[in-house]
């Protein structure tokens, strides 16, 4: 199965250190308002970024596009992909050919490609910066996901609670999230999981958290949740597979890689904590 084409966001995040200062401004503005800023006119995009129109055109050319129109067509294609629902994808019987074993092999190849491409596109330094925050026991951690990604948030929070104190899974209905948000401040970190089709209530929560100076870590897909405009750190994973459903396997791989690094970072204290927990755990229970 061929690898999925890099998104424009992935290209920018991987190459932004190679850009001129004006091109970096354009890249940061596009990532913070993805993909809508790039769907504006050259003049409007330039004004939003505080650069000239020719700088925007050089930025687009550096990304490999023949012109601004081609750049916008690519962004529109990505926007269509963002909005895809299970019903919008082709029927399984028409999408795949071959026997059951061949289809399973194709699906497995897609999962492997997603994980490989996810780690290949990690922006330099971003993964380490997230590990630093998760391992900083002076900071309280709060985790929450969407309809299909909240199990990842619960999984991650369960592991982090073993390693350190001050970890909370934000539970309950959306109206109750603010009851927990009101106690958050500049020393708190909110880790949000949000993939297509993105959840408006998570976006609202992120915006309100930023107003309280909370640090936001976003775990999202390659097209970037709208929460990216509020996030301090972004880790994105590939999610498409030959199915009417998207896959969280690469996001899970990112979570487990983070947990492995945090464990190493806090191990002396975590070891004492795990030993204490073992004394509290009934014999024979994991």
Q: How confident is the model over 218-270, as pLDDT tens digits?
A: 999 999 999 999 999 999 999 999 998 999 999 999 999 999 999 999 999 99
What pLDDT score was predicted for residue 162? 96
pLDDT at 98 over 70: no
| Of the candidate ranges 22-31, 40-49, 120-129, 182-191, the one whose mean pLDDT is the lowest | 120-129
Coil, helix or strand for 270? helix
Q: Would you tell me how many other CB atoms lie within 10 Å of the CB of residue 120?
A: 12
Coil, helix or strand for 217? strand
Specify whether the CB–CB gap between 252 and 142 falls below 8 A: no
Beta bridge partners of 18: none
Token pair recorded at residue 215: 């640090």
Q: Would you tell me how many other CB atoms lie within 10 Å of the CB of residue 61?
A: 14
**The dihedral sign for the CA sequence 191, 197, 202, 204:** positive
Average pLDDT over every residue of 142-155: 97
pLDDT at 186 over 80: yes
pLDDT at 286 over 70: no
* Domains with residue ranges and CATH for the chain: 8-82 (1.10.10.10), 126-280 (3.40.50.10490)
Coil, helix or strand for 235? strand
Task: Give the residue among 12, 34, 7, 259 at the shortest CA–CA distance from 157.
Answer: 259
pTM of model > 0.85: no
Q: How far apart are CA 220 and CA 195, in angstroms?
A: 5
What pLDDT score was predicted for residue 2? 39
Burial class (CB in 10 A: 0-12, 13-18, 19+), 153: buried
């Amino acid at each position: 199965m061929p690898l999925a084409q890099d998104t424009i966001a992935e290209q920018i995040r991987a190459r932004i250190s190679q850009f001129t200062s004006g091109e970096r401004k354009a890249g940061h503005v596009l990532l913070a308002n993805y993909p809508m800023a790039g769907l504006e006119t050259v003049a409007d995009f330039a004004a939003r970024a505080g650069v000239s129109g020719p700088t925007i055109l050089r930025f687009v050319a550096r990304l490999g596009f023949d012109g601004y129109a081609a750049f916008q067509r690519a962004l529109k294609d990505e926007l269509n992909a963002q909005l895809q629902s299970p019903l919008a994808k082709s029927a399984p019987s028409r999408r795949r050919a071959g026997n059951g074993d061949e289809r399973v092999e194709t699906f497995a190849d897609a999962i492997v490609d997603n994980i490989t491409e996810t780690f290949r596109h990690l922006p330099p330094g971003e993964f380490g910066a997230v590990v630093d925050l998760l391992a900083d026991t002076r900071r309280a951690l709060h985790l929450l996901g969407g309809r299909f990604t909240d199990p990842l948030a619960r999984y991650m929070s369960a592991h982090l609670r073993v390693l350190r104190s001050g970890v909370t899974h934000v539970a309950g209905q959306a109206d109750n999230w603010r009851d927990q948000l009101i106690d958050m401040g500049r020393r708190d970190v909110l880790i949000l999981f949000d993939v297509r089709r993105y959840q408006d209530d998570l976006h609202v929560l992120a915006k309100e958290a930023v107003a309280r100076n909370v640090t936001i870590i976003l775990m999202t897909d390659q097209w970037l949740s709208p929460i990216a405009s509020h996030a301090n750190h972004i880790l994105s994973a590939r999610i498409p597979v030959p199915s009417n459903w998207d896959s969280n396997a690469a996001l899970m791989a990112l979570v487990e890689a983070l947990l492995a690094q945090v464990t190493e970072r806090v191990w002396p204290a975590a070891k004492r904590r795990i030993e204490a927990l073992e004394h509290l755990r009934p014999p024979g229970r994991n």
